[in-house]
């Protein structure tokens, strides 16, 4: 299926370059009363070109903070994030540097990720303008995410959550993303759509040659799409490796517990262990 879809790409994506290197990244939030909450504590990992990496862990373990830091939305307290050999700087009031615009994010809440007052076409055009190469047309992008071409002139409220997420993916692809980050992009979708959208993100990334950092607490879906998995617990990386290896032989107790908590829909009424 993926093979046939790969051939269906109607434009030639520019050669992708993605070497993301996170070195000893530490992000801390100052809280009222002078307390400091270290959300991410000196983590290191790499994402190479064309790779699909799953970042998993329970809520509050620092997954989203890591993603935000990679996009420049958080100022690291320590360590560095290198993208294609350049250090990522935090976003200021100015434009984001062109070379980092090829890191794009798809957010959790589909109802907040599109501007309610602008048409789909306008918002995808914004993405196309950020593309350093030749951007695919809006119609081609809509085809890619399986949204009818006629939808371009419509407004976000005319779409369901899953469709909006597809449009957000199209916008990120329009920008010629070398690295696509999905920050729990399926968490607010209903169960039947979750696997579909996750699979779509993987397919889109494979087709365009982009890397995907897929953040989720849904391990079953991560297993479905990720080549490699990084497991986080309270700000630390406890384990990382190829997906199947981690699945078959989890080394850390935390990973074992996470895996044991996946519900099994076998009709036998198993309750996930916690």
We find the least distance from the C-beta atom of residue 63 to another protein, in angstroms, to be: 16
Three-state DSSP at 20 gives strand
Nearest to 102 by CA among 9, 16, 22, 6: 16
DSSP for residue 18: -
Nearer to another protein, 20 or 259 (CB): 20
Nearer to another protein, 132 or 251 (CB): 132
We find the least distance from the C-beta atom of residue 236 to another protein, in angstroms, to be: 26
Query: Where would I find the H helices in the chain?
Result: 2-7, 63-70, 120-130, 138-144, 161-174, 191-208, 219-225, 243-248, 253-260
Nearer to another protein, 96 or 223 (CB): 96
We find the least distance from the C-beta atom of residue 111 to another protein, in angstroms, to be: 9
We find the least distance from the C-beta atom of residue 102 to another protein, in angstroms, to be: 10
Strand pairing partners for 104? 180
Which tokens go with 66?
């890591």
**φ, ψ at 240 (rounded to 5°):** -145, 150
CB 26 within 8 A of CB 37: no
Nearer to another protein, 44 or 158 (CB): 158
We find the least distance from the C-beta atom of residue 168 to another protein, in angstroms, to be: 7
Q: Which residues of the chain form contacts with another protein (CB under 8 A)?
A: 71, 73, 91, 93-96, 98, 101, 103-105, 107-109, 112-118, 123, 126-127, 129-130, 157, 168, 171, 175
Nearer to another protein, 176 or 250 (CB): 176
């Amino acid at each position: 299926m993926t093979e046939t879809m790969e051939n269906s790409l109607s434009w030639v994506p520019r050669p992708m370059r993605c070497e993301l290197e996170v070195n000893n990244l530490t992000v801390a939030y100052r809280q009222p009363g002078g307390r400091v909450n270290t959300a991410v504590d000196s983590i290191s990992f790499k994402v190479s070109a064309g790779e699909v990496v799953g970042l998993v862990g329970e809520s509050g373990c620092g997954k989203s903070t890591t993603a935000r830091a990679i996009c420049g939305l958080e100022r690291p307290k320590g360590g560095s994030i290198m993208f294609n050999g350049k250090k990522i700087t935090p976003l200021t009031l100015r434009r984001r540097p062109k070379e980092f615009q090829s890191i794009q994010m798809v957010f959790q809440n589909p109802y907040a990720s599109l501007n309610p007052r602008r048409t789909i076409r306008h918002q995808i055009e914004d993405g196309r303008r950020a593309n350093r190469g030749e951007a695919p047309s809006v119609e081609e992008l809509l085809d890619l995410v399986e949204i009818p071409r006629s939808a371009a002139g419509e407004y976000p409220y005319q779409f369901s959550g899953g469709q909006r997420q597809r449009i957000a993916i199209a916008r990120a692809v329009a920008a010629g993303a070398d690295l696509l980050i999905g920050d729990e992009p399926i968490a607010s979708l209903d169960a039947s759509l979750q696997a579909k959208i996750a699979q779509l993100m993987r397919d889109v990334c494979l087709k365009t040659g982009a890397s995907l950092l897929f953040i989720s607490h849904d391990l079953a879906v991560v297993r479905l799409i990720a080549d490699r998995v990084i497991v986080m617990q309270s700000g630390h990386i406890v384990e990382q490796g190829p997906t199947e290896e981690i699945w078959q032989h989890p080394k850390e107790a935390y990973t074992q517990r996470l895996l044991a908590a996946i519900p099994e829909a076998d009709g036998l009424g198993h309750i996930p262990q916690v």
